[in-house]
Structures are given as structure tokens and as C-alpha cells.
Structure 1
Amino acid sequence: MIKRLVLLAVFVGGILFTSSSQNIVMDKSNVEFRVANLGANTVKGKFTGMTGNVTFDPKNIAKASFDVCIDATSINTRMKKRDTALKGPKYFDIARYPEICFASKTVSRTGMNYKVIGSLSMHGVKKEVEIIFNSSRNTLTGKLKVNRLDYKIGPKSGVFVGKQVDITITCVVE
């Protein structure tokens, strides 16, 4: 009888965990990006400091939601001089826009993956984006491409800095 009650408690606890908001593990979650530089090189970097609310249960997609922000001041390309420029007014302008945020509108299954559509707010601009992601254990990994000019980031020319930015999101929840 006690074993059955323990199993029931574990089962119900698991349902409650996956149906309610999950905590983001900040030191394991990040957003990485890649953008062309001078047409021949690729600049890679990442943001950390992910916070917010994640509700995701593959068995109940209708209840899934994401309301997540990253700390724009955490940008790191492994070049201090470049990072300083990226934090400045010509790029991310972190003094005015210290966070980059995403809020979901819909989540659906697409074959073996999932698709979330929502608003990405960056540099004072909010645009609807689509993120294709997968879920493995407690890790959600998503990919999207954005045009940095849509968010008024950097020079208008794509000669020195490419216009398209490839983004990979890793969100670990508990």
C-alpha cells in the first residue's frame, strides 16, 4: 500500500512539474549567435543571464508558454574591444536596452520538433519570429535566423557585418 502511495505521489508530482512553470538553470542556459564579418569571417558570441518563465510538457503542448529574457550586457565574443563596441549605441545600446526578450504566442509540434511563434523584443523593436526547437530531458534547444537590420542593430550596410544572424538558444530547466 505504501509503495503504491509513493508511486502515485511521484507520478502526480511529475505531472505537476511538467504542467507548471519550470525554473531556468541560468549557468547552463545561453544564447549563441553567428554573423558574417567582412564577408570571409564569422563572428561567434553568446549571451548569458537567461531568466523568465518556461512551461513546457511535450504531452500537453496547448499549455506550453515561454516568457524569457537574456541580459544584453552579458554579450561575449571573446574580444573585449568588440564587446565594448557591441554594447554601445551603434549596436545593442545596452544602456537603453539592457534585455532581449521573447514571449510566445503559440507552440505546436512539427514532426520530431516543435515550433514556437512569438515576439522577439530587441533594441526597442518587437517583431514576430518563429523558433524551431527540440526537447531532450530538461534541455530545450532552438534555432532561428534574424535580420539585424529589422532591429536597427549596427550599420545599414552588410559589408562589414552580415545582415543575417544565426541564433541557437539553449534553455535548461528544472
Structure 2
Amino acid sequence: MTITPGRVATLHYRLSDADGRTLDDSRARQQPLSYLHGHGNLFAALEAHLADAAPGAQMRVTLSPAQSYGERDEALVSETARSAFPVDQPLQAGARFQAQGPEGPHTVTVIAAGADSVTVDANHPLAGQTLSYEIEILEVREATRAERVKGHPLPPGTSHTEVEDRKQV
């Protein structure tokens, strides 16, 4: 069976940057990734490379910033009042917080913190980077009705009625 829309694929991957530094490794975490192909669960360019692959296939896929998290946008770096952050939490460079923006909640990273203001970056941490994936396809199966309803893989044994019941709550 090959990867086509409406099928769940399970894979191991190693994500690295342009310098070859490992950013994430599903095998090291012993946690393969499962996704529902054709439902926008992965970057479109990555899904295109995975299409028609079968279990056992191995590939290396390189994505440009435009194909992944986009280019860095310096307009997303801003200074914010210190009072906008929790008083009881120390602020250090690299700390991440949820912020509310015009398009909904997003994560910001603290760049610098002073007594009265904090400089934050709302770019994704991988924005502007070329990313390489080393992938091994482990399994491909038909999605269940419940998975097609939800648009992503569900834990084994989840029935479509449980999914529909939760939507009512």
C-alpha cells in the first residue's frame, strides 16, 4: 500500500538544519510520526515528496524557508511593556510565551528583558532556515471514518461515534 490522500502514514524522521545539526529525531525519541495524507497535516512540499511512497522507503527531503516556516520577518520583532508578562515569572532570553495577536494566539520568544520593556520575536524559531528531513516510511494504512472526520490520526480504538459525540459537547 502506498501513501495517497485519505491514508495514514507512519514514519521516522530526522530533521536537521543547513549545517547538519539535528533539530529533532523521532527515532531517538522512540516516537514515530503518524499523519493523514492530503489533510494539510504536514508542509505541502513535504507531503508531495511522500506521495506514493511505500513502507520501507527512505528519502531525504530538503525544504526552503518558503516551503516550510517562511522567511524571517523583522517586523515580527517588537518591544512590549514588561507589565504584559506574568509578574511572578522571571524573563530570560529564549523563554516562550503565548500571546494574542490579530490572527489569534501565537508563540513569542523573549530576545531581551529589561525592567520596563521586553523585546519579543513572533517569528517561528525555524523561520528563514533551510530544513532537511531524512525519512523512513514504516506503515501505510487506510484512515478510519473517525480519522477522516477529524482530519488527523486518532488513538487506536476511537470510533466515529465518539468523535461525533465530542463535537456536540
Relative to the length of structure 1, the TM-score reads 0.29
Answer with 1 or 2: which has the greater Rg: 2
Larger RCO (CA within 8 A; separation ≥ 6): 2
Relative to the length of structure 2, the TM-score reads 0.29
More helix by share: 1
More strand by share: 1
